[in-house]
Amino acid sequence: MGRSALMGKLVKAEFRKILSTKLWWGLLIVALLVAGSWAGMLSSVFDGIAAELSGSEVMRLAGLELDEISFSVVFLTRAINIATIFPMLFGGLAIASELGRKTITTSFLTAPNRTMLLGAKGITYAIWGAIYGIAIILAATLGIVIGTGGDHLVGFTTWLATAAAGVLSCVLWTLLGLGVGALIGSPVGTVIVLLVYGLALGPISDLVFTGFAEGDANVAGALPNGAANGLTGSTAADTLAAEIQANATGMSSVSSDLLEGFQDTARLAAGGLGSFGLFASAAIFLAWAMLFLALGLWRTQSRDIT
Amino acid sequence: MHDGSGRIEVRQLSKNFGSVQAVANLSFTVEPGSVTGFLGPNGAGKTTTLRMILGLVTPSEGTATINGLPHDKLGHPARVVGSVLENEGFHPKRTARNHLKVYAAAIGVPDRRVEDVLAAVGLTEAGDRHAGGFSLGMRQRLALATALLGDPQVLVLDEPANGLDPEGIAWLRTFLRDFAKQGRTVLVSSHLLAEVEQTIDQVVIISHGQTMYYGQLDDLRNAQRPRVLVLPSNQDALSTALREEQISEIEPADNGRLAVMNTSARQVGDIALRAGVAIYGLEERHADLENLFFQLTSGQYAAAAPQQYGAPHGMPYGTQPSAPYGAPPGAPYEAPPGTPYGPPPGTPYGAPPHGGYGPPQDGWSQQGTVPQPQGQQPYQQDEGNTGWEGQR
């Protein structure tokens, strides 16, 4: 029997493991709620602000027509970034919960070797990361449609690019979580470490580093959280900047500074603080995910199951 | 590719956890067609050894192989070896049936095999209940069902009687004997000799991570000959009188008694009467395995250094004409000269009744009575294309 046939069996077993308990379902529901409500709430609030600002002095000076700018894309990426917490936790528990419940014993005994088992988990959880990603994007999009009343929708190509980046981000967060879980080994420890980094340490360090760098690309963009946000945020920020540029018909020396300010604000709002751009961010985040997967594999190889 | 022999070989195996040596230079072989007991007190290193055989714990030194290969080189390990380990490996919210389906998929056997093994351990009715709600005995049965999924050639069980009721223990005993009769291999650990005495043919006794005895259980039984324990008024006078009657195997025993071999209570009494020695107590002792087991393993917690009767370092067992194991200090037990610890040369290990356990392609499992419901094609172990896939 070939290696790929063996791998197929292990992947099938992993799918059965996931589908025979409720974790995937519980985390997915919460991810959808968070993505949808976050996108809906932010876009709804901004829609109101936009209505107030429309035709104001500043806007006239800059020559900007807010209705012409697909600012909703910012909320799409924001919603994705916050919801990636859940696929990350899902991946984190892949091996950690097996170690915690000692089902890892049987998993090791029925797999040809540990490397193949981890390979099968990697494939399975990459697929599940994509499932989470697609679901999260659909929920966030729905949230924006509801939040803006359908007035300020994202252009299709922008949406597609952001969606693709979002799915990739979810896949990589899941794999990074998988590696961290395998490295730490305890389910509780894994969840705590991932949550503390994803919700507090990552965003705060991004802000601090970017503050020192005065908004330029910096070390924050090279860290996992910054790189992930750069992956999802770059498309949105570039789209917005371009639209603002194209829309700024009443260009003047006064509005030139203002325009730059708008563009910076758009980048900031879209996330991706200190990011190195779309492809560099993708490559950096991929490297982080692979590093943690490799560390997890190394730790799993040497772990004594007593 | 593994050799299909069904043999477990442990060679000079050691494991240190930090500064604690759990297993020290352990060597033994488990042959197919027999049930081998792996005995020792709790903490003697049994579980660690079994887990090294199964590739769950990496040895510090030495090797443990099944069919000539370490576990991670077996290719389809669950079709070679099944195991029942500690009572932990279930997700509490997963049903028994789903648990088995997960591992049926990983092994690559069809889902109907799940029903076979559930029936084999008597869990068909409970199959849709969560494993978290199972009693200890039911969990043991589910663990055994999991072990049987791949229709393995070798079974390794760690204290399987734990949590089983007397009926369950009797059932397990019959099951393991039948399994071995088909020419398959069973290695079963226990801290109680009495628990497995009726099940096992061969025994490996360890204490403090070292081998105390390795060989046929019958040889161990025969090694302890009947003796007479006598409490005389004058030990020296009685000893002299006995020696005059060519009864020379005499040892001091506990409480001022003498242990006399190759005689009877009646003979000792008669000799004492003729010698004018008063007898205050007289008792015949026959082979008592439990007592012997206790003596062999009690060194673990005694003050005496266990190395005194430890394994000869770097020496494979069973290859020496007379292995230098001394009796525990002060114990009224002495190995008869010329009786080596270890399998006697030329003694076959329960040769399989039907021409034995051939390589997998000989279809050994077709002789089997283990979970093969009627009307279904027997599962044939094969690395090629006649396995489950071929039947689908």
For B112, the token pair is 């109907």
d(CA B335, CA B346): 20
Residues of A in contact with B98 (CB under 8 A): 16, 20
Per the structure, the count of domains in chain B is: 2
Same domain flag for B259 and B181: no
Contact call for B91 and A109, based on CB within 8 A: no
Task: Give me the residue from B48, B93, B383 closest to A21, CB to CB.
Answer: B93
Same domain flag for B365 and B266: no
Domain end call among B268, B285, B302: B285
Same domain flag for B214 and B234: no
Q: Report residue A296's pLDDT band, with 50, 70 and 90 as the boundaries.
A: very high
Q: What CA–CA distances, in Å, run from B326 to B250, B286, B309, B329? A: 17, 20, 6, 8
Q: Is residue B44 part of a domain?
A: yes
- Render pLDDT for B20-40 as a digit per residue (tens, 0 to 9): 889 988 999 999 999 999 998
What are the b/e assignments for B74-109, b being 16+ CB within 10 Å? bebbbbbbbbbbebebbbeebbbbbbbbbbbbbbbb
Which H/E stretch holds residue B155? strand B154-158
Contact call for A20 and B95, based on CB within 8 A: yes
Same domain flag for B189 and B206: yes
pLDDT value at residue A122: 96
Contact call for B106 and A20, based on CB within 8 A: no
Look up the domain containing B241 and give its range.
Answer: 227-285
Q: Report residue B108's pLDDT band, with 50, 70 and 90 as the boundaries.
A: very high
Domain end call among B285, B301, B329: B285
Most confident of B43-47, B142-146, B205-209: B142-146
Same domain flag for B367 and B278: no
Same domain flag for B172 and B67: yes
Contact call for A20 and B98, based on CB within 8 A: yes
Domain end call among B266, B285, B304: B285
Q: DSSP of A120-188, one letter per residue?
A: HHHHHHHHHHHHHHHHHHHHHHHHHHHHTTTSSPPPHHHHHHHHHHHHHHHHHHHHHHHHHHHHH--HH
Instruction: Please name the residue of chain A whose CA is at the shortest distance from the CA of residue B145.
Output: A106
Same domain flag for B183 and B87: yes
Cα of first residue to Cα of last residue in chain B, in angstroms, is 25
d(CA B99, CA B294): 40
Domain containing residue B248: CATH number: 3.30.70.100
B4 backbone φψ class: left, alpha, beta (φ>0; ψ -120 to 50): left
CA dihedral A170, A171, A177, A179 (to 10 degrees): -160
Count Cβ atoms within 10 A of the Cβ of residue B174 and give its class: 0-12 exposed, 13-18 middle, 19 or more buried: exposed
pLDDT value at residue B302: 40
d(CA B166, CA B252): 40
Q: Is residue B304 part of a domain?
A: no
Task: Give me the residue from A1, A16, A306 closest to B105, CB to CB.
Answer: A16
Question: What's CA B377's distance to the chain center, in Å?
Answer: 33
Q: Is residue B314 part of a domain?
A: no
Contact call for A110 and B47, based on CB within 8 A: no
Mean pLDDT of chain B: 77
Q: Which of B60, B81, B62, B79 is nearest to B8 (CA)?
A: B81
Q: Is residue B40 part of a domain?
A: yes
User: Comparing A125-139, A168-182, B242-256, B334-348, which segment has the lowest mean pLDDT?
Assistant: B334-348
Instruction: Please indicate whether residue A65 or residue B85 has the higher confidence score (pLDDT).
Output: B85
Q: Is residue B301 part of a domain?
A: no
Task: Give me the residue from B75, B98, B106 closest to A9, CB to CB.
Answer: B106
Contact call for A109 and B77, based on CB within 8 A: yes
Domain containing residue B65: CATH number: 3.40.50.300
Say yes or no to pLDDT of A12 above 80: yes
Q: Is residue B294 part of a domain?
A: no
Same domain flag for B62 and B166: yes
Mean pLDDT of chain A: 86
Same domain flag for B91 and B177: yes
Q: Is residue B106 part of a domain?
A: yes
Say yes or no to pLDDT of A265 above 80: no
Residues of B in contact with A104 (CB under 8 A): 89
Same domain flag for B353 and B209: yes
Contact call for A108 and B83, based on CB within 8 A: no
- Render pLDDT for A103-153 as a digit per residue (tens, 0 to 9): 999 999 999 999 999 999 999 999 999 999 999 999 999 998 988 877 667
Same domain flag for B180 and B66: yes
Mean pLDDT confidence for A257-280: 73
Same domain flag for B123 and B265: no
- Render pLDDT for A162-204 as a digit per residue (tens, 0 to 9): 999 999 999 999 999 999 999 999 999 999 999 999 988 988 8
CB B163 within 8 A of CB B139: yes
Phi, psi of B205 (to 5 degrees): -110, 125
CB A167 within 8 A of CB A77: no
Closest CA of chain A from B65, distance in Å? 14
Q: Positive or negative CA dihedral for A167, A170, A174, A176?
A: positive
Q: Is residue B336 part of a domain?
A: no
pLDDT value at residue B303: 35
Cα of first residue to Cα of last residue in chain A, in angstroms, is 31
d(CA B145, CA B118): 6
Closest CA of chain B from A185, distance in Å? 15
